[in-house]
Structure 1
Amino acid sequence: MRDQFMTHHATGFHLPLLDWVHEYQKSWLKPDVIAGVTAAAVVLPKAMAYATVAGLPVQVGLYTAFVPMVIYALFGTSRPLSVSTSATLAILTAAALGQVVPGGGAAQLAIATATLTLLVGLILLLASLLRLGFVANFISEPVLTGFKGGIAIVIVLDQLPKLIGLHVVKGSFFHNVSALLTGLPHASIATVVVGVATITILVALEHFYPKSPAPLIAVACGIASVAVFGLQRYGVSVVGHIPTGLPSLVLPDPSLIEGLWPAAVGIALMSFTETIASGRAFVQSGEPMPLPNRELVATGLGNAAGALLGSMPAGGGTTQTAVNRLVGAHSQLAELVTAAVTLGTMLLLAPLIGLMPHATLAAVVIVYSIGLLKPAEFRAILAIRRTEFIWALVALAGVVLLGTLNGILVAILVSLVALAYQVSDPPVYELRRMRGTNVFRPVSDQYPDDEEFPGLLLLRPEGRIFFVNASNIGHKIVPLIERTHPTVVALDMRAVFDLEYTALTMLTEAEKKYRDRGVSLWLVGLSPEVAAIVDNAPLGKTLGHERIFLNLEQALAAWQGSQQKPGASTEAVS
């Protein structure tokens, strides 16, 4: 089946739907239906809660869990992926809308949201046409950890006033912290009770009954408490009227494009990153891996279509996908079931949802958003590499202190700086031979008995050698030559997959410099690509076949042979 899919993918347009429908087994039907309904119980409360994070009416969350979900089931390549919105996308959407329609009314927000979501969809589709699926790996894992941790802090701080019944004028991070602390004496006791009770229910269910639809149960308890006790009388605010029925057509406003497109690029990047990560995380044996460029098409079409029907930016979600898979989803039919439940909710349950306390929604957001901040991952990064731990902290601070949209730029910039740092300073190892074997390994205090060969310096650089790092590699090699005074320097190039022109020029100059001092340069283990580069350059003619070897064993044998011939030149031995 995978071969068939790849053939269609390579030769023209193809619906992944045709694959899973063609392979569908009757035994999958029941678990798919159960998984779809269970996932809906998790998706819908969270989608509505995330809509409020974005500053939008709760029904926007329902629309987001409907249209993009259906589109992805038709075009997506991941079997269990569940698509709606996420905490990250919600807070980024809030920041974007706050820039173009600050304090806007419902109509203005709807138009701006449609424009933003359509832009996100078009950017994803354009990325697919340009085959930019590799961008999924553009932000390093430590930086993404820091970015999501910062998002968690921002969201929790944003939702805490709703949890305790305060109205706070939003500003910078420190302003929001100060306003929250100042307003604590004026908190609504009844609202605090509702919020704390919701958090308790969620945490208890997640701990003792992890497979239960905890968000749905918590939301149902909140609605029931309002209906039974009339909590509005005690100062508990509720969602209020929600229109029953299908979403209305919303047309974007071209005049907002200029102000929204930078944010849309960042949101599209995060949508795709979360989608492909969630899809890859839950692949089972025998299933096709999600194809990045096809995922761009699916999420792009989902956002573009959803934009016209009231949706906010959407993407795959890890939590809801995990629920989908753990309950037993085998195919995208589970997503279609989730979408059907969403449709039923829009048509029948809107009046009940209107009774939901804002504190309940805030509690749902806080409980599931705080999971984005994972101290264990920070500790794991620190244990392995301190530098990348600092990058994670920089990304976190960028989101918290500079805002979420600027935080994306900080995250990307930090990733690029990290990449530049890594490639600019590749390792160069001095090698010795494990006694009695043909194994050559880096010099280490762990291996004091390894053989060294006075007069022969064996070195192994690693990675691509190009204009960024060629000078640094040279600065590492020179002290080794000065310390050991060899007659031959053999560079083991097996771990070098590319030799760029600037680096080749520098190597050529170094070869001449040391040849004039009586030190000969040998090259060992060239890959076919690097060998072709050397052969086509003056260095290849200078070295000839006499100073280029297939492996270190050949080079060592040639050097030992030259030592047994008094007066023999090391350049004449092969």
Structure 2
Amino acid sequence: MTRESERQGRSLAWTGPDARARSASRALKSLVPVSLRGYRLAWLGPDIIAGLTLSAVAIPEVMGYTSITQTPIVTGLYTLLLPLVAFILIGSSRLLVVGGDSAAAAILAAGLVVAAVPGVVAGSSRWVALCALTALLTGVLLLLARLFRLGFLGDFLSASVLIGFLSGIGIKVATDQIPDILGVEKGAGNWFEKQWAWMSALGDVSLPTLAYGLGTVGIIVFCKVVIPRVPGAMLAIVWLLVLATLTDAAGRGVPVVGPIEGGLPHLGLPDGITIAEVGAVASTALSCFFIVIAQSAATSRSFAMKHGDRVDVNRDILGLAVANIAAGVSGTVVVNGSPTKTQILDDAKGRTQVANLVVVAITLVVLLFLTDLLAELPLAVLGGVVFVIAVGLVDARGLWRIARRRRAEFFVALLTMFAVFAVGIIEGIVLAIALSLLDVISRQYTAPAFVLAVGTSDYDYLPAVPGVQSSPGLIVYRFDSQLFFANSTGYSDRLEKVIAAAPDRVHWVILDCAGIADVDYSAGQSLADLITSLHARDIHVVLARPEPALLETLRRYALMSRIDPAHIYSDLDVAIAAFDGSARTTTDEERTR
């Protein structure tokens, strides 16, 4: 057979029935959402049960969150419809539950109050339009984050700062529900003024309203402690709704939800939005963007690692972006990945996003057929549901662990928590980001420096303090950080002190560059001054283990002309051996003289 015929045979085999079948199989597989690929029929039963369990918790929760965002109750249900479907289709996480979230709701409400768009009153149709606009802008910011692969931004909120931030959200949201539970008017002003307002109105407490509020809290707590598999929030809503309907709670002065517009959401961009309004809510969208990135990325990553799944944070960001855009065009609020609802899904043995499809289906049934039944639901019941959720956000155990293990970070967490509930949520998230960045900078600024003690069999890194040396005439100096404008002076100063106090006159300084991947311009200038100063004292400067990228950076700064190319070593042992050889040569020359 000729080579040509062999090629034709291979071509026919490639385009034969088996190849076409494989190609069709790959095309079909590409249509399956990433979060559902590799699905097994054995998972269907557990997923359906987990979805039913999650629905019993998620639906009351998102209804309650509307008391935070001050939007119609139906907007809470909408967060479990198109946004959740969008994430299922686009995201990669098998378990992350996307929908209304207390932290995002609190940021949204606080931000819109600060924005103070003229003529817009909380709860009005224009207010709802601004909420939808904020969700759209948040989605756009998330799209940009995906485009530029900015998933790492979520890592800029340290665990201690995030614990403090969410605990502050919990305190604020929980205390905001107290007037609804008591049946008194909500106060105005800052957090302290609002607390004084309901405390001053204790004489006007509505006992029937208080009974519904405390009853809700009691049922939920009882279920959590005694029968944790029973969804206490759903149980409280069903029982107390029946009781309120039978006893005509509204007629007895108990504030109730009232008529709820059911059906599917109206799709489209928010009506009548102006450029000025876009600018007014932009900072709120940015705040929501950061909490969505931080909270959702941490949640999807932790649950994926728990089950040995692959983590694709950037894909999840894309899913969250589309979910928030879906929220915006369906007239609801910002959605987020929920740690609590994801934990519920995991505890219920849910395996994939099929469980969340069950939640979508049940939410659809509620919207189409059951909204009229909710009209007599007391607002105190929703307030009680949100109160318990918010108290759960206050991570007392996490704060205690931080206090025991790292006192400085504990005070940072407390400061963040206090800023969130006492000053403002927007200010709190700005402070949280600032404190996290300052923490990164401080760690780089105070990065440890070492001097390598050359022993007979092994090396030992010692703190770079005056009086240490690697061997007579040699200092091997290591700094475990990038060099930048803030720490470059400290890098040089510590080395100068070690040289000045060395027991023997220093002839060689080997800069171990294994911990330095980059040098900024300011640090480059400082390093040039250091090399010039050492050369002036007849001290050879040697580079050991520099990365090629670092050498290229030093070339751009014209630093390589100051260092003998023969004094650049890729291996630290070779550099030290070169010094030993040089020292022996010097000793022999001195003996000859």
TM-score normalised according to structure 2 size: 0.86
2:520 corresponds in structure 1 to 500
Change (3 A) 1:537 1:389: same
Deviates more, 1:72-81 or 1:115-124: 115-124
1:93 corresponds in structure 2 to 108
1:9 corresponds in structure 2 to none
* Alignment map for 1:304-453 (pairs within 5 Å): 304-433=325-454, 436-443=456-463, 453=471
Query: Is the 2:35–2:92 Cα contact (8 Å) retained in structure 1?
Result: no
**CA root-mean-square deviation:** 2.8
After TM superposition, give the deviation of residue 250 of structure 1 in Å. 6.0
1:513 corresponds in structure 2 to 533
- AA of the residue aligned to 1:416: L
1:346-365 Cα deviation digits (max 9, x unpaired) = 12221222222212211111
Match of 2:180 among 153, 162, 178: 162
* Alignment map for 1:533-548 (pairs within 5 Å): 533-534=553-554, 539-548=559-568
Indicate the SS of the match to 1:254: coil
Change (3 A) 1:515 1:116: closer
1:412-448 Cα deviation digits (max 9, x unpaired) = 2222333333333322123324x55323222499xx9
Indicate the SS of the match to 2:201: helix
Change (3 A) 1:347 1:490: same
- AA of the residue aligned to 1:506: S
- AA of the residue aligned to 2:77: L
After TM superposition, give the deviation of residue 492 of structure 1 in Å. 1.8
1:279 corresponds in structure 2 to 300
2:7 corresponds in structure 1 to none
Query: Is the 1:17–1:73 Cα contact (8 Å) retained in structure 2?
Result: no
Match of 2:220 among 202, 212, 234: 202
| CA distance in 2 between partners of 1:201 and 1:209 (Å) | 10
2:124 corresponds in structure 1 to 106
Change (3 A) 1:44 1:15: farther
Change (3 A) 1:262 1:536: closer
Compare CA radii of gyration and give the structure with the larger one: 2
* 1:217 correspondence with 2:235: yes
Change (3 A) 1:528 1:399: same
Change (3 A) 1:281 1:528: same
2:287 corresponds in structure 1 to 266
* 1:30 correspondence with 2:51: no
Match of 1:80 among 88, 95, 110: 95
- AA of the residue aligned to 1:556: I
1:275-306 Cα deviation digits (max 9, x unpaired) = 22221121167765342332232222222222
Match of 2:169 among 151, 160, 167: 151
* Alignment map for 1:443-482 (pairs within 5 Å): 443=463, 453-482=471-500
Q: Percent identity?
A: 28
Deviates more, 1:165-174 or 1:396-405: 396-405
2:249 corresponds in structure 1 to 231
Query: Is the 1:16–1:75 Cα contact (8 Å) retained in structure 2?
Result: no
Query: Is the 2:478–2:513 Cα contact (8 Å) retained in structure 1?
Result: yes
Change (3 A) 1:271 1:451: closer
| CA distance in 1 between partners of 2:581 and 2:463 (Å) | 24
Deviates more, 1:149-158 or 1:281-290: 281-290
Query: Is the 1:524–1:548 Cα contact (8 Å) retained in structure 2?
Result: yes
TM-score normalised according to structure 1 size: 0.89
Query: Is the 1:521–1:547 Cα contact (8 Å) retained in structure 2?
Result: yes
After TM superposition, give the deviation of residue 387 of structure 1 in Å. 3.4
After TM superposition, give the deviation of residue 102 of structure 1 in Å. 5.1
After TM superposition, give the deviation of residue 314 of structure 1 in Å. 0.7
Change (3 A) 1:398 1:568: farther
Query: Is the 1:67–1:311 Cα contact (8 Å) retained in structure 2?
Result: no
1:121-160 Cα deviation digits (max 9, x unpaired) = 2222233233322222232222222211211111112111
Change (3 A) 1:511 1:107: closer
1:57 corresponds in structure 2 to 72
* 1:529 correspondence with 2:549: yes
After TM superposition, give the deviation of residue 84 of structure 1 in Å. 0.7
After TM superposition, give the deviation of residue 173 of structure 1 in Å. 1.3
Change (3 A) 1:376 1:479: farther
Query: Is the 2:256–2:376 Cα contact (8 Å) retained in structure 1?
Result: yes
Indicate the SS of the match to 2:471: coil
- AA of the residue aligned to 2:402: I
| CA distance in 2 between partners of 1:20 and 1:144 (Å) | 27
Unaligned 5+ segments in structure 2 are 1-26
Indicate the SS of the match to 2:384: helix
Query: Is the 2:185–2:198 Cα contact (8 Å) retained in structure 1?
Result: no
| CA distance in 2 between partners of 1:169 and 1:333 (Å) | 43
After TM superposition, give the deviation of residue 44 of structure 1 in Å. 0.3
| CA distance in 1 between partners of 2:267 and 2:559 (Å) | 67
1:254 corresponds in structure 2 to 273
- AA of the residue aligned to 1:526: P
Change (3 A) 1:415 1:437: same
| CA distance in 1 between partners of 2:398 and 2:319 (Å) | 30
After TM superposition, give the deviation of residue 223 of structure 1 in Å. 1.2
Change (3 A) 1:80 1:301: same
2:134 corresponds in structure 1 to 116
After TM superposition, give the deviation of residue 177 of structure 1 in Å. 1.9
| CA distance in 2 between partners of 1:539 and 1:282 (Å) | 47
Query: Is the 2:35–2:93 Cα contact (8 Å) retained in structure 1?
Result: no
| CA distance in 1 between partners of 2:460 and 2:252 (Å) | 77
Deviates more, 1:537-546 or 1:415-424: 537-546
| CA distance in 2 between partners of 1:507 and 1:126 (Å) | 37
- AA of the residue aligned to 2:290: L
| CA distance in 1 between partners of 2:589 and 2:444 (Å) | 37
1:523-555 Cα deviation digits (max 9, x unpaired) = 222223224444676543443244333444334
| CA distance in 1 between partners of 2:445 and 2:464 (Å) | 24
- AA of the residue aligned to 1:38: T
Change (3 A) 1:483 1:281: same
